[in-house]
Amino acid sequence: MKKLLTIIALLGACVAGMAQIKLSVHESATGEPEIPAEIFGQFSEHLGRCIYEGIWVGPDSSIPNVNGYRTDVLEAFKALKVPVLRWPGGCFADEYHWMDGIGPKENRPKLVNNNWGGTVEDNSFGTHEFLNLCEMLGIEPYISANVGSGTVEEMAKWVEYMTAPNGSMAELRAKNGRKEPWKVKYLGVGNETWGCGGDMTAQYYSDVYKRYALYSRNYGDNKLFKVACGASGGDYDWTRTMMKNAKRQMDGLSVHFYSVEVWEQKGSATVFTPAEYYNILAKTVEIDEILRNHIAIMDAYDPENRVALLLDEWGTWYDVEPGHNPGHLFQQNTMRDAIVAALNINIFTKYVQRLKMANIAQIVNVLQAMVLTNGPEMVLTPTYHVFRMFSVHQNATRVPVEYNAGTLMSETGRVMESFSAASSRDAAGAIHVTLANPLLDKPVTVELAFDSLKPKTVTGEVLKAAKVNAYNDFGKAPAVAPAVLKDIKKSGGVWKVTLPPASVAVLEIK
């Protein structure tokens, strides 16, 4: 029998069923870091309908498209200001041979996608299609290259093909229709090399990494940022070994963390009890401790703070929606996922001195997606709205916040804060505060306190739904869509905003 959710020391103060929070925004703090746009990064894999149908329909499709990329999805990406996109995997990357995806489409080999449902991969979306997409949208590409089943030569030549201004790889590229090299900054040297990317130990992989990284050269003025494969969740020994053996050869080290409690029983994306709701939230905020601990290890080996930490896969992972291929990882996305996204992004801002990128898994039709498609239809998910609302933090200067929220405990025994906030100042001087109220049954009133600022205006946008398991479905009016936050009041010179239960908001303060 399920234990009831235990709420301990629920809130700093509670008045007639409403939580009261005092949020101090320290706008006069100096020396604060910039919040990298890349913590709003995305991930795309040849998995299910992420690439095919989700992004790429081909120029002959009846689905409206621009040179093969579906128009509705392109527009959604543009509005999201996607800063960086990781591709082609995931596990797929370690069985991907890039030469299969160049040249005339009719000559490209058809392969079985062994990792993801045995789907036949026709390689019609390859290097040109990916890099042209990034270039068209101003997205920084993040290539995840094959270490598990690929050779050093194959990786070295891929880098040369993409970025060299001349030589035989550049000539081949030109023959395939692209004369100028692309700009490629991020190069992931293997993915999950402790698992689907080669099943290696950290000690062994640290040597392998150095060999592959060495021959991935900089061509012309292209400067690679080389990322070594990092730990799964709280595997701190992996980080220690990598930092000890290979820190000099890497620019970044990754980590992956999915909000899953029991892998064999992940639960439904849309049908869940209040206890299951809090279980996922309490699991997802574990990322706070995981980032802190990895960073402490990196600080010890790299006190100069040269090597970045990249959380290049994260998000919720539920049971596949009924009727879908179990290997395609298609799941719906509810208000619960919106809160998960908000809690994570707010946490990321705490660690941006070292955490320089995060890539939610995945951008379309897979796991905690931004958009979902069904043939010609497309919906924006609740997670999409959070990414769009919170994008005000991209490249803004962090502003420290403090608040007096209490904690709550999930039935799985995890303790989490009952409120979440982060803040930044943009280039024009506006302060933004992003907020989440995870409580299912209580609104929260937030009293804003500043060092010395006396705001003239406070405006906001809120994301909420009639039910926490509401989602945006095909052919129906959106059940979860942002709206103006109306409950903003000023009295006696003090601004107060009220967030409904289970909601996410962004404030603009001028």
User: Which of the 8 DSSP states describes residue 34?
Assistant: B
Task: Select 91 or 408, whichever has its Cβ closest to ligand AHR.
Answer: 91
When asked if residue 191 is in the footprint of ligand AHR (CB under 6 A), the reply is yes
CB of 89 to ligand AHR, least distance (A): 5
**Count of residues making up the chain:** 510
* 148 near ligand AHR (CB under 6 A): no
Nearer to ligand AHR, 90 or 460 (CB): 90
DSSP 266: -
Q: Taking a C-beta distance cutoff of 8 angstroms, is the pair 437, 444 a contact?
A: yes
Tell me whether residue 121 or residue 192 sits nearer to ligand AHR (CB atom).
192
Query: What are the backbone dihedrals phi and psi of residue 140, each rounded to the nearest 5 degrees, phi first?
Result: -75, 120
Centre a 10 Å sphere on the Cβ of residue 110 and count the other Cβ atoms it contains: 10
Catalytic residue (choose from 313, 377, 411, 447): 313
Specify the residue for token string 């003239």: 456
- Is 276 or 313 the residue whose CB approaches ligand AHR more closely? 313
Residue with the two structure tokens 């990357």: 93
- β partners of residue 459: 508
Position 313 contacts ligand AHR (CB under 6 A): yes
The footprint of ligand AHR on residues 390-449 (CB under 6 A) is none
Measured from the CB atom, the residue of 205 and 219 that comes closer to ligand AHR is: 205
Q: Which is nearer to ligand AHR, 188 or 438 (CB)?
A: 188
Instruction: Give every strand in the sheet of 458-463, ordered side by side.
Output: 397-399, 420-425, 431-437, 503-509, 458-463, 483-484
Q: Do 166 and 160 meet the contact criterion of CB atoms below 8 Å apart?
A: no
* 8 A C-beta contact, residue 338 and residue 382: yes
Beta strands (DSSP E) in 317-367 are 355-361
Q: How many helices (H) and strands (E) does the chain have?
A: 10, 28
What x/- string results for residues 58 through 97 when contact with ligand AHR is judged by CB under 6 A? -------------------------------xxx------
Tell me the longest C-alpha to C-alpha distance in the chain. 73
Q: Measured from the CB of residue 316, what is the shortest distance to ligand AHR in angstroms?
A: 11
Which of 192, 251, 276, 337 forms a contact with ligand AHR (CB under 6 A)?
192
Q: Residue 487 is which amino acid? A: D
Give catalytic status of residue 154 as yes or no. no
State CA 192 to chain mean position distance: 17
Among 361, 369, 378, 470, binds ligand AHR (CB under 6 A): 361
Residue closest to ligand AHR, measured at CB: 90
| Token pair 């640290």: residue | 206
Specify burial of residue 106 (Cβ count, 10 A radius: 0-12, 13-18, 19+): exposed
* CB of 372 or CB of 485, closer to ligand AHR: 372
Using CA atoms, how far apart are residues 62 and 59, in angstroms rounded to an integer?
A: 9
Based on the shown chain and the rule CB under 6 A, indicate whether residue 50 belongs to the binding site for ligand AHR: no
The residue range among 20-28, 73-81, 341-349, 359-367 that interacts with ligand AHR, by the rule CB under 6 A, is 359-367
Query: CB 315 → ligand AHR: shortest distance, Å?
Result: 8
313 catalytic per annotation: yes
The stretches of 215-334 forming alpha helices (DSSP H) are 236-246, 274-284, 286-301
Smallest gap from residue 309 Cβ to ligand AHR (A): 17
Q: How far is the CB of 362 from ligand AHR (least distance, A)?
A: 6
Out of 192, 264, 321, 447, the active site residue is: 192
Instruction: Write down the least CB distance from residue 368 to ligand AHR, Å.
Output: 10
Task: Tell the residue number behind the tokens 């006396």, with chain if given.
Answer: 454
Question: Minimum distance from CB of 447 to ligand AHR (Å)?
Answer: 40
Q: Which residues bind ligand AHR (CB under 6 A)?
A: 45, 89-91, 191-192, 313, 361-362, 367
Give the residue numbers annotated as catalytic, written as ranges.
192, 313
